[in-house]
Structure 1
Amino acid sequence: MKVPVFPLNSVVLPGGRIPLQLFEPRYIDMLTRCLKSDEGFVITLLRDGAEAGRVASFYETGTYVRIIDFQQLENGLLGITVEGEAKVSIARSWQQDDGLNLCEMEFLPAEAPGSIPVAFHELPSVLRALFRHPVIRDLGMSVNYEDARDVGWRLTELLPLDKQEKQHLIEIQDPLERLNRLQGLLEALEEG
C-alpha cells in the first residue's frame, strides 16, 4: 500500500488523536488528496531533521491515521485532527519533487486487548490524571482504563519521554511488555 508519510516529533497510536497545523503546500496537497480519496497517511517519529524541513529521516514503524476533523485556525493556518487506526511498518520510502515523503507500508498484526495486571495498577491512575488536562480532554478521545493495550498506547503518547524511548514503546507488540517498560520509566521519573 503506497501512502504519504508525515514525520513528526510527536507520536500517535491506534485510537489516539493529535491536532496538526498545515502550512506547507506539500501537506495541504496531501490533505486534499486524502480527503478526496477517503484515505489516510502514516505518522512516524522523526529520527533526524525538522518537521518543516525537506530533508528528514524517520523511523520505519509508525501509525496509519485518518483525518477526522479540519478547520481554518485563527492564525490563518489549516488545522486538522487525525486519529490513529493501526500500527504499520514502512517497507520502502522516497520523496516526491515537492518534498512529500511517500512509502510502501504493511499493517502490523493487531495487538490483543487484555486486562491490566495488579503490578501495573498505578498506570491507569496516571493516565486519568493526564486526561484531566484541558488540551487532552478537548481531543475527545475515549480510553478503556482496564485494557493494557489502550493504557499503554495513551501513556506512550502523553508522557514526557525522549523520542528514542517513545519509538521503542511503539515498536513493542506485547501490551504487557509495554506496561512493564512504562512502569520502569515512571519510577525513574519519580526518582528524578
Structure 2
Amino acid sequence: MFRSSDLPGTIPVFPLPGALLLPRARLPLHLFEPRYLQMFEDVLKTPGRLIGMIQPLPDGPGATPRLHQIGCAGRITAFSETEDGRYMITLTGISRFRVKHEIEGFSPYRNCAVSWDGFDADLGKPEHDPGFCRDTFLDLLKKYFAQEELDTDWDSMRDADDEILINSLSMLCPFDPEDKQALLEAPSLSTRRETLVTLLKFALHGGTNDEVM
C-alpha cells in the first residue's frame, strides 16, 4: 500500500477523453502510439510505476488540449506485449491528484507537477456508502441498461461491495467526458453515487434537465 510520502511530485500524464480511473479500481489500457509506448517503458523504471490519467478540456481542433485540474494516478500492475510491439496494460488506481503546472521538456509525452493534498482517503481502506439503497439503485440501473442495450451479471451486482459497484459503474457507463470528471471529483463515495444516479436519470429522460428536476 502506498503512503503519502511515497507519492512523487512529478508524474507523466495520459490525457484520454472519457477514460476514468478511480482509487482502488482497475483500468485496462491499450498502448500503441509511440509517445505512450515510450512513457510506459520509462515508467517501468520508476519505483512507483505511476501514470496519471486525466481528462483533456475540449479545446479547438489542432491545439494541444489543456487539462482538467484533477486526475487519478494508477500503478502499472499488469502488462502484456503483442507481436507488433503494442502493450496491453492494467492500471490500479492509487490516488487522485491536482495539477500544479505542466513541466516543459524534451519528453514526447506530457508531465505535470502535482499535489496529493486533500486526497488522503484515497490511500486508505475501501469506502462504504451508508445511505445506499441497493434495490432502488438496481431498478434504475436495469432501466438504463435496457435503454443502452447493455448486459451484465445482475447477481454480481447485488453481491458487490458498495465501492466496487459504484466505482465500476462510474468507469464503465458511457457518459460524456465532463460527466466522468464530475464522478472523479466527487468528494466521497456517497456523493459519487448521488452523481451517478443523477446521470442515469438524466440519460433515461432523454437528456433534458427539466424532466430530471
**TM bracket, shorter-chain basis:** 0.7 to 0.9
Matched residue, 1:48: 58
Letter in 1 for 2:70: T
Matched residue, 1:110: 121
Matched residue, 2:160: 145
Answering whether residue 180 of structure 2 is matched by residue 166 of structure 1, we say yes
Letter in 1 for 2:24: G
- In terms of fraction of residues, the more strand-rich structure is 1
Map 1:78-97 to 2 at 5 A: 78-97=87-106
Structure 2 residue runs of 5 or longer lacking an equivalent are: 1-8, 207-213
Answering whether residue 10 of structure 2 is matched by residue 2 of structure 1, we say yes
Structure 1 residue runs of 5 or longer lacking an equivalent are: 138-143
CA-based RMSD of the aligned residues comes to 3.1
Post-superposition offset of 1:100: 1.4
Which of the numbers 54, 65, 69 marks the counterpart of 1:60?
Answer: 69
Post-superposition offset of 1:118: 4.8
Deviations 1:59-101 (A, max 9, x none): 1111111111122225542222211111111111134334311
Which of the numbers 17, 21, 28 marks the counterpart of 1:12?
Answer: 21
In structure 1, distance between residues paired with 2:138 and 2:74? 24
Contact 2:103-2:113 within 8 A present in 1 as well? no
In structure 2, distance between residues paired with 1:54 and 1:78? 27
In structure 2, distance between residues paired with 1:183 and 1:16? 19
Deviations 1:114-173 (A, max 9, x none): 23425454436749x87847xxx9xxxxxx8342x4433222211111111111121111
Contact 2:129-2:189 within 8 A present in 1 as well? no
Larger Rg: 2
Contact 1:17-1:84 within 8 A present in 2 as well? yes
Contact 1:45-1:58 within 8 A present in 2 as well? yes
Percent of aligned pairs with the same residue? 26
Matched residue, 1:186: 200
